[in-house]
Structure 1
Amino acid sequence: MRKLDVLIKFMQKLDGGSMFDPRLLRAFVMIVDCGSFTTAAERLHMTQSTISQQLGRLEDAVGRELIDRAARPVRVTATGERLLGHARRILALQTEALSLLADTSGTTSMRVAMPDDIATPEMVRVFAAFANRHRQVRIDVTTGLSLDLTRRYRGGEFDIVVVKEAAASSDHFATFPEPIAWFASADTGTLFSDPLPLVAFPPGGLYRDAMFERIERERRRWYVAFTSSSLQSVLSAVEAGLGLSLLPVGTTTGRKVRQSPDFGMEPPMVVSIYSWERGGLVGELTSEMSGILSARFLGA
């Protein structure tokens, strides 16, 4: 359990009323520290009769005297000495809990979703800079397949979503073309015999459907040799020569793959960003994310 949760439960128990009421403990500790009811009352901004009553309530709850009132200066009894250390720790925990509850850092969740390859170091740096400017915001990022993310965004699960699609919906914040092409391993060549082995995303993946449509138009025989929801795994499978795959051109830089002459380029997909709000903090983050996408896909 997180430390804050423990402290909250502790404070709730204290609020329920017990011998460890922090007000009574604070009066007890202050009397001990000051050695005087009068001085303790002044420091706690209360009357001497009030602080005496609070100590009396604590002693009634414990069932024993905690302060030797006859001594000058007053001092703790044996029972009071045993309670004193615990009282100080309880008061310290209360102060820490109040401090944590007063801190708004990370108390406002902003839910963002995108395909795995959109969560680039540049995009994450935008999140980091935004979170540093707005300490109250916690950015919760989900990655996944575009069709599923679109469905969940429309269902209200996310504040901002970046998806890949054949064409942008009318309510998009911004949209950018993404060139796509067929790739095979650079080491094993690009020619495959029938049936063609394909490296694909799971059912519902955008590129998977486009692959099957193209293969069917070409009247070629095919089978799925490898499936993964991870773009990096798909790229690794193509590098290893497991089969052909339809991939975003921009994701293949530095990978041991090359375009297949059998199929080549396909009409581009689009990368679109959607947001439920155009203003406020959500609108601010959406605009900054759009800037990263523009630089990547338009070179702007």
Structure 2
Amino acid sequence: MNDASKTLDLETVRAFVLIADLGSFTRAAEVMETSQAAISLKLKRLEDRLGCRLIERTPRHVRLSDQGNRFLPAARDLMTAHETALSGIGAAPRRKLTLGISDHVAGPELPLLLSRLSAYDPAVVIEVRIASSRYLMERFDHNEFDAVIIRRGEGRMDGEKLLAEQFCWFAAPSFRYRPGESLRLATLAAPCGIRAVAIDALEQAGIPWTEAFVGGGVLALGAAVNAGLAVAALARRVAPAGALDVGERFGLPPLPTLDIVLLSRQTDQRSREILKVLAAAFKGAAGR
């Protein structure tokens, strides 16, 4: 690995860094806009050049070998030096990514998502705001965000689809409800779109309801659910640990599957690349 006569192809190094950061050949291929087979070939060329295995790959897991862990910092330094050379003399410019994430989308994988973004580009300053999809879409249209990850709203079909999420009725194991009673609901404050979807489903089914808890975020909804205060309409990915899907048991109407999309307006190459990493990291972190 220390042979000075060896030169490295930057694209093979970039592929290796992406595989390491995203934990997936598939996600790395998405960022580089190529096939999984092409990513595998790039990695093999790099491993052949270095004379060692960098990635240990099984049908279910991708992890760095000992040599891969040792090589990764140098690989990052090489990519940073390349970007600095392209941008002129001096350190690589710091860039800011203003990202909005919907309340009903920001799940437990958010720290992993941010760490992968930061690992891929340590020079990026990430500003994250969590709010309702409707608010974020309006602010995005007023150029207040570089990108937003939101629930696709009615009548709006733009944006890159990241995943489709099934919403269900969640409650604590101790929660009690009998058909015919007024269902106690935990919701976000109006005009939350998921609140509207849940209430519409209940009213269409002729099920009486009462708002028992109004939270300022999904974390608060999870606390109310776990405390046994009410039932909440949540995506499985963000439902609190220990809560149960009680829809069938209580005879509640099914809730829809809703698309989660990424909207962005970045046009320069480096920003678009960071957003591709964001999309791939989100799908990977969400288990898609």
Letter in 2 for 1:295: G
CA contact (8 A) 2:102 2:132 kept: yes
Q: TM-score, normalised by structure 1?
A: 0.58
Q: 2:203 aligns with which of 206, 216, 219?
A: 216
Counterpart in the other structure of 1:121: 111
Structure 1 match to 2:182: 195
For structure 1, which segment, 121-130 or 188-197, has the greater mean C-alpha deviation from structure 2 after superposition? 188-197
| Identity over aligned pairs, percent | 18
* Cα pair 2:162 2:261 within 8 Å, conserved: yes
Instruction: Determine if the alignment matches structure 1 residue 271 to structure 2 residue 260.
Output: yes
Structure having greater relative contact order (Cα 8 Å, sep ≥ 6)? 2
| Superposition map of 1:1-300 within 5 A | 108-116=95-103, 117-118=106-107, 120-132=110-122, 135=123, 137-166=124-153, 169-191=156-178, 194-252=181-239, 254-261=241-248, 262-263=251-252, 265-297=254-286, 299-300=287-288
RMSD value, Cα: 2.6
Relative to structure 1, the CA distance from residue 243 to residue 108 in structure 2 (aligned partners, 3 Å threshold; closer, same or farther) is same
- On the 8 A contact 1:198/1:222 being kept in 2, the answer is yes
Q: Aligned-pair distance for 1:167?
A: 5.8
Tell me the distance in 1 between the aligned counterparts of 2:220 and 2:145. 26
Does the CA-based 8 Å contact 1:112-1:159 persist in structure 2?
Answer: yes
1:201·1:208 contact (CA, 8 Å) conserved in 2? Answer: yes
Q: 8 Å contact 2:187–2:214 — kept in the other structure?
A: yes
Summarize the Cα distance change of 1:107–1:121 in structure 2 as closer, same or farther, 3 Å threshold. closer
Q: Per the alignment, do residues 112 and 106 of structure 1 end up closer, same or farther by CA in structure 2, a change over 3 Å counting?
A: farther
- Farther-moved stretch of structure 1 (234-243 vs 118-127): 118-127
Give secondary structure in 1 for the equivalent of 2:135: helix
Whole-angstrom distance in 2 between the partners of 1:167 and 1:296: 26
The alpha-carbon deviation at position 104 of structure 1 amounts to 6.6
Deviations 1:217-236 (A, max 9, x none): 02222221100121111011
**Relative to 1, partners in 2 of residues 1:107 and 1:282: Cα closer, same or farther, differing over 3 Å?**
closer
TM superposition outliers: structure 1 runs of 4+ over 4 Å: 102-107
Count of residues in Structure 1 that have an aligned counterpart in Structure 2 = 195
Once residues 241 and 193 of structure 1 are traced to their aligned partners in structure 2, the CA distance between those partners, rounded to angstroms, is 19
Q: Per the alignment, do residues 289 and 168 of structure 1 end up closer, same or farther by CA in structure 2, a change over 3 Å counting?
A: farther
Q: 1:196 to 1:112 in 2, by over 3 A?
A: same
Name the counterpart of 1:16: none
Q: Secondary structure at the match of 2:196?
A: helix
Cα distance 1:293–1:138, how it changes in 2: closer, same or farther (>3 A)? closer
Q: Which has the larger radius of gyration?
A: 1
Contact 2:202 2:252 in 1 (8 A): no
Q: Secondary structure at the match of 2:234?
A: strand
Deviations 1:116-136 (A, max 9, x none): 42461221112321441xx2x
Following TM superposition, by how much is the alpha carbon of 1:107 offset from its aligned partner in structure 2, in angstroms?
A: 5.0
TM (norm. structure 2) is 0.60
Q: Distance in 1 between matches of 2:275 and 2:214?
A: 32
Note if contact 2:226-2:240 (Cα within 8 Å) is conserved in structure 1.
no
CA deviation string 1:36-82 (max 9, x = no partner) = xxxxxxxxxxxxxxxxxxxxxxxxxxxxxxxxxxxxxxxxxxxxxxx
Give the distance between the partners of 2:247 and 2:209, measured in 1 at CA.
15
| 1:111 and 1:159 in contact (8 A); partners too | yes
Check the 8 A contact 1:111/1:140 in 2, yes or no. Answer: yes
Letter in 1 for 2:282: L
